[in-house]
Amino acid sequence: MKPRNCYAYAWVNGRIRISTTLPANAMPIAKGPRQGLHALISPRATFDDSGLRVPLVNDRMNTREAIEAIATWSEGLGRYHRDPEITLI
């Protein structure tokens, strides 16, 4: 059985989530099997008490700065993307 596709996405506060649905206000990062998304994202993200975070985002940023930081970080994942089952969004 083929693994179900999931979405990796970030909230404007930098929190990263992986789920089978993509919430309307989230910034999409990638789509593919859960394990592949974790393998791509986890080594390049920071981790705190509540989970994965985009390393460039901090509490002092305004919304626009946070969105730009998330977009820059997401684009950078392309250098490490090798799994044909994962699509960067």
E strands present in 1-89: 5-10, 16-19, 27-33, 46-48, 51-53, 87-88
Does 1 have pLDDT greater than 90?
no
Q: What is the pLDDT of residues 38-54, one digit of tens each?
A: 999 999 999 999 899 99
> Do 32 and 83 touch, CB atoms closer than 8 A?
yes
Beta carbons of 30 and 89 less than 8 angstroms apart: yes
Spans of all domains in the chain = 5-88
R_g over Cα of the chain: 12
Question: Is 68 or 80 the better-scoring residue by pLDDT?
Answer: 68
pLDDT digits (tens, 9 = 90+) for 13-37: 999 999 999 999 999 999 999 999 9
Q: Minimal CA–CA distance to 8: which of 50, 37, 35?
A: 37
